[in-house]
Amino acid sequence: MAQNLLSRRKALQLFSGAPLLPLGSVVSASSLLAACGGGDDNNTTPPVTKNYVSATFTSMAAPTLSTPDKMATMYAASQLKVAFDDKSEQVYDLGYQPFFVTGDMVSDGKGGQLLAGGYYDIYNNKIIDKTVAGKERHFFSDSPDGTSLLTVPDAKVDGIKGKPVFAVVQFEYTTWAQDGKTDMYGKLPSPIAVLTLDQDQSTGKLSLAKYHNVDTSKVHGLWITCGASLSPWGTHLSSEEYEPDAFASSNAQLQAFSQNLYGDPAKANPYHYGHMPEVIVNVDGTATIKKHFCMGRISHELVQVMPDQRTALMGDDATNSGYFVFVADKEKDLSSGTLYAAKVGAGFSIDPAAKSAAPLTWIKLGSATSAEIENLANTLKPTDIMTVVKTDPSDASYTKIVVNGKTEWIKINAGMDKAAAFLETHRYAAFKGASLGFTKMEGTTVNAKDKIAYSALQNVQSSMVAGNAANVAGNGVSVPKQLVAGVVMALNLKGGQKDTDGAAISSEWMPVDTAPLLAGEDLLDSDGKTLKGDALGNTANPNKIANPDNLKFSEKMRTLFIGEDSSQHVNNFMWAYNVDTKQLSRVLSVPAGGESTGLHAVDEINGWTYIMSNFQHAGDWGGIHANVKTQLDPLINANYKGKFGAAVGYLTASPAQMKLSAK
């Protein structure tokens, strides 16, 4: 055939994502990234057959004030290049397609409509924003976060023309009430929704067909759901970060949360939050949810279950956070197992050039079922578990620890070790000698082929810096100087490990060391310490990662995707890092003042590959935005409902050119 007459539809189907076919197989009629748009269904040209070799991303330039419209929206100007064994190359222009902007009315699949990102109380009643008299409205989120794209065997949803695909989306918080003055962070129970998407089998395009709000009443509602992952068995693994301190004398945030959830500021139990929820999607696009109370009560950011379907490495987004691993008793079942916390050995570094890896050993904190820990949460008061004091009691029966940046002295009550391990996990891990010295440990993901996990440290400061009050001497996590821009760490995974008591750990996927992979670069004043903005306002090098948060790895593309939660980049970016070529490419820019969230790389769904991406709180202005705020604020207001809305969607790919001759 004449190659230059290849139709748009056929061009989009050159790369295989066909199930069960290895990348080196001879395959046809499928695509790498789903396209936005249709094709020529009348073209009868036979499909091209060839072998996939590799995929790489070009790096787009960061938007500037010369194009303010691009700074005020989701903007992709990068390209994806797919190489084949016949020396040809397909180039795709990347774009972004939202399913909705929060605050939109969307179909419930029953002839009615629901508010995208809307909040509900424990009785599934709408929570109403009454801060502007006469303009009362249903609260909705400006901060969608963790997203999973998945299929369900034998799924059947009315009205679907192609094939049903589901996206589970959680909404972390709402920044402000509509009066623009009332801070709503963490004061509303996080909603979580299932989107039924109609997948066009000729283009891969996903169209929203149905929105289902998940009933969370049976799990006591959800608290600050941040990053998420897809389990190997096809469920959505959620998160609850910044667990409320059960020993706090007062907690205004928890009281406001309780008021909005229960209508009673005193009813919410802090021990019901800080756990790992799991969402199971049904064949009709509805879903059920459960919480796993046995995976530790920490600042859950993102859980990555390894290919053994038992071992989970967990992000812990806190000051004085740590590496935690949960090993389930059974495959595909997180309802019982053993919890471990890491001790970091000598040689910890954040400098990739140092090529230094610090060994990890593992302290067993305890074994439990979710049911027994939930029962303890229901029945125990904090003082039943341990005594916590803020000043030195001069009593050898107390142990000095540092948690949440503060020094405490604790004493575990007799018979309460299990309760302490699973309900006061940070305190108990510190008590047992784990290395709780990290700051804002965010996303985790795994490169299964190489048996390497990746973990994002959004900032290297506070508890990680020698001499800081939160830094614990001897815990292995200590660097001489802060790096606000953060670092991505790589952790080698192995089997045959023993815990610090000499007992075998039943996993072939335990992290055995940690080393820096990618680091940001602070822009500093002449004193070498003070952050100094460039002409646009960036206080970190805009051509390197800054404040990494979301992480996802594509086995097919051999690519680590990195989403930023940065107060140092005027626009936050999503990056692609090829672990073989070491090439770092800027793929996407989110609206200024927003955070890149909802990252999810899906290697294959019905022959198509997807990269999901959302953003949060566009136009959340800080000091670095002084040079752009005046120009961008009206644009973002116009694009995103006066900054109350945020987009949920995915990257698209359209063929840019064909290079079919031998190189």
Task: Tell me if 227 sits within 8 A of 236, measured CB to CB.
Answer: no
- Residue 10 falls inside a structural domain: no
- Residue 318 falls inside a structural domain: yes
**pTM of the full structure:** 0.93
Give the residue ranges of the chain where pLDDT is below 70: 1-48, 657-663
Distances (CA, A) of 543 to 65, 80, 523: 17, 19, 12
43, two tokens: 């073209």
- Residue 131 falls inside a structural domain: yes
Please tell me the predicted confidence (pLDDT) of residue 355: 85
Task: Tell me if 548 sits within 8 A of 457, measured CB to CB.
Answer: yes
3-state secondary structure at position 399: strand
How far apart, in whole angstroms, are the C-alpha atoms of residue 172 and residue 368? 28
- Residue 41 falls inside a structural domain: no
- DSSP strand E in 214-331: where? 229-230, 236-237, 276-281, 287-292, 300-305, 311-316, 319-321, 324-330
End-to-end alpha-carbon separation of the chain, Å? 20
Q: Minimal CA–CA distance to 550: which of 172, 165, 63?
A: 172
- Residue 555 falls inside a structural domain: yes
How far apart, in whole angstroms, are the C-alpha atoms of residue 376 and residue 275? 14
Q: Minimal CA–CA distance to 516: which of 542, 540, 541, 485?
A: 485
3-state secondary structure at position 4: helix
Q: Minimal CA–CA distance to 444: which of 508, 507, 495, 488?
A: 488
Please tell me the predicted confidence (pLDDT) of residue 109: 94
* β-bridge partners, 303: 314
How far apart, in whole angstroms, are the C-alpha atoms of residue 576 and residue 287? 32
Q: What is the pLDDT of residues 251-300, one digit of tens each?
A: 999 999 999 999 999 999 999 999 999 999 999 999 999 999 999 999 99
- Residue 42 falls inside a structural domain: no
Give the DSSP H or E segment for 638. Answer: helix 629-639
Mean predicted lDDT score pLDDT of the chain: 91
Please tell me the predicted confidence (pLDDT) of residue 550: 95
* CA gyration radius, the chain: 24
654, two tokens: 């359209």
| DSSP annotation of 249 | S
Number of structural domains in the chain: 1
Residue type, position 125, single letter:
N
Residues 6+ apart with CB under 8 A from 338: 326, 327, 329, 364, 366, 367, 506
How far apart, in whole angstroms, are the C-alpha atoms of residue 427 and residue 298? 10
DSSP 483-552: BTT-EEEEEEEESS-BBTTSPBP--S-EE-EEEEEEE--B-B-TTSSSB---SS--SB-TTS--SEEEEE
537, two tokens: 């306002």
- Residue 663 falls inside a structural domain: no
Domain that holds residue 498: 52-654
Q: Minimal CA–CA distance to 228: which of 262, 183, 192, 253?
A: 192
The whole-angstrom distance between residue 231's C-alpha and the CA centroid of its chain comes to 13
| DSSP annotation of 85 | T
Task: Tell me if 446 sits within 8 A of 493, measured CB to CB.
Answer: yes
Give the DSSP H or E segment for 578. Answer: strand 573-578
- CA dihedral of residues 386, 391, 392, 394 (deg, nearest 10): -80
3-state secondary structure at position 196: strand
